């Protein structure tokens, strides 16, 4: 009995520590003790609707052909999750040097002037109004190029993050409830809620025909992230003004070109009937004060026969990703000398 009590205490203690520590959870992931809780898609993970259960698979390599022009090209991307390393890397671009930095990180920058240096500001549509509400502040001139994660070193802030309910609950959910037998039980519960009570997890929205699932923030018109919230022309003017200021700042740091690409929300492409679309991407694209070159895949995604988004995930499918990469690479291929 004493041994049993000790074992129970050890198990409970381990679960408590793992629930409070992101580093412990990440170690369990790396050693494959824990299954990848995003293996069936981020939207399935929230909803547990079996219809949208889609096992994650790697896209075949895009393998862009490198340039053979006299002056080398360096491409920097400041972007969201669509361009994170697990989805896109240097082999996907026809460039000689590639560097990615997330909007939430700090890009310490030392440009090699022997290259044509291009920076692409990539934002998913739901975050664009936040990214361009104020001029860019996460690119810092330095003696070398590297990326760091800003940290709040205050003890009170660290303690607050440690015991914050949402991330702690999320880690405990990962630790205890992301195994296939448990997911099957959660699927039964989700099916009952949807079919008998017309309810799903509040973090997702299912289309009227139940064929598409998206993040709730894409559809909630009380949030600035929504594809259907009204945006006045004055705010579009402000967003374009900030984008132009970003261009001036980045060119002052030494970039030869500054490009912009806003990736459409899944709802904007696959659920046009849900509400009145605010056309954020097109309004920025058509703005008369915009001089920053854009890479706009919205009309292409709307015409694609193959789904540009994953079934159970908010991110693009291989087809959608390849289309975007093709447009970016084509723009690079047409850029040998600095313009603007």
In a domain, 279, yes or no: yes
Of the pLDDT bands very low, low, confident and very high (cuts 50, 70, 90), residue 6 is confident
In a domain, 64, yes or no: no
| 152-182 CB burial, b ≥16 within 10 A, e <16 | eeeeeeeeeeeeeeeebebbbebbeebeeee
Can you spell out the DSSP letters for 15-40?
HHHHHH-HHHHHHHHHTTSS--TTTT
Residues spanned by the domain of 266: 72-152+222-333
66-102 pLDDT, tens digit per residue, is 666 667 999 999 999 999 998 999 999 999 999 999 9
Per the listing, tokens 């074992």 go with: 7
Of the pLDDT bands very low, low, confident and very high (cuts 50, 70, 90), residue 165 is very low
In a domain, 60, yes or no: no
The CATH number covering residue 258 comes to 3.40.50
Whether the CB-CB separation of 328 and 93 falls below 8 Å is answered with: yes
198-222 pLDDT, tens digit per residue, is 999 999 999 999 999 999 999 999 9
289-314 pLDDT, tens digit per residue, is 999 999 999 999 999 999 999 999 99
- Give the integer Cα–Cα distance in Å for 13 and 18: 9
Residue 75: closest CA among 51, 99, 42, 102: 99
In a domain, 92, yes or no: yes
Q: Across all residues in the chain, what is the average pLDDT?
A: 87
132-164 pLDDT, tens digit per residue, is 999 999 999 999 999 998 875 444 444 344 444
Number of domains in the chain: 1
In this prediction the pTM is 0.86
Whether the CB-CB separation of 315 and 309 falls below 8 Å is answered with: yes
* pLDDT at residue 2 is higher than 90: no
The residues pairing with 147 across neighbouring beta strands, listed in sequence order, are 107
In a domain, 2, yes or no: no
In a domain, 114, yes or no: yes
Q: What is the mean pLDDT of residues 154-177?
A: 54
SS3 at position 274: coil
Which is higher by pLDDT, 158 or 25?
Answer: 25
At 226 the pLDDT is 97
């Amino acid at each position: 009995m004493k041994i049993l009590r000790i074992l129970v205490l050890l198990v409970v203690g381990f679960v408590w520590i793992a629930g409070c520590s992101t580093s412990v959870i990440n170690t369990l992931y790396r050693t494959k003790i824990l299954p990848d809780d995003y293996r069936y898609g981020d939207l399935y993970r929230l909803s547990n609707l079996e219809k949208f259960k889609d096992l994650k698979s790697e896209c075949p390599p895009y393998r862009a052909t490198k340039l053979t022009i006299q002056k080398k090209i360096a491409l920097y991307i400041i972007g969201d999750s669509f361009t994170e390393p697990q989805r896109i890397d240097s082999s996907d671009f026809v460039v000689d040097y590639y560097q990615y930095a997330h909007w939430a990180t700090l890009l310490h920058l030392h440009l090699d002037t022997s290259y044509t240096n291009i920076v692409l500001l990539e934002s998913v549509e739901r975050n664009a109004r936040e990214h361009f509400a104020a001029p860019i502040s996460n690119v810092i001139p330095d003696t070398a190029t590297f990326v760091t994660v800003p940290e709040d070193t205050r003890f009170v802030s660290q303690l607050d993050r440690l015991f914050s309910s949402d991330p702690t609950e999320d880690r405990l959910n990962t630790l205890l409830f992301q195994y296939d037998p448990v997911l099957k039980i959660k699927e039964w519960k989700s099916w009952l809620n949807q079919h008998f009570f017309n309810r799903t997890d509040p973090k997702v929205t299912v289309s009227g025909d139940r064929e598409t699932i998206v993040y709730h923030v894409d559809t909630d018109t009380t949030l600035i992230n929504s594809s259907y919230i009204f945006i006045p022309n004055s705010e579009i003017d402000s967003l374009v003004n900030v984008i132009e200021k970003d261009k001036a700042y980045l060119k002052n740091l030494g970039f030869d070109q500054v490009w912009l690409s806003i990736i459409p929300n899944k709802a904007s492409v696959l659920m046009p009937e849900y509400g009145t679309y605010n056309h954020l991407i097109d309004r920025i694209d058509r703005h008369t004060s915009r001089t920053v070159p854009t890479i706009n895949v919205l009309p292409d995604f709307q015409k694609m026969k193959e789904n540009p988004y994953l079934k159970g995930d908010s991110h693009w499918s291989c087809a959608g990703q390849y289309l975007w990469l093709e447009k970016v690479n084509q723009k690079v291929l047409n850029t040998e000398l600095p313009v603007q």
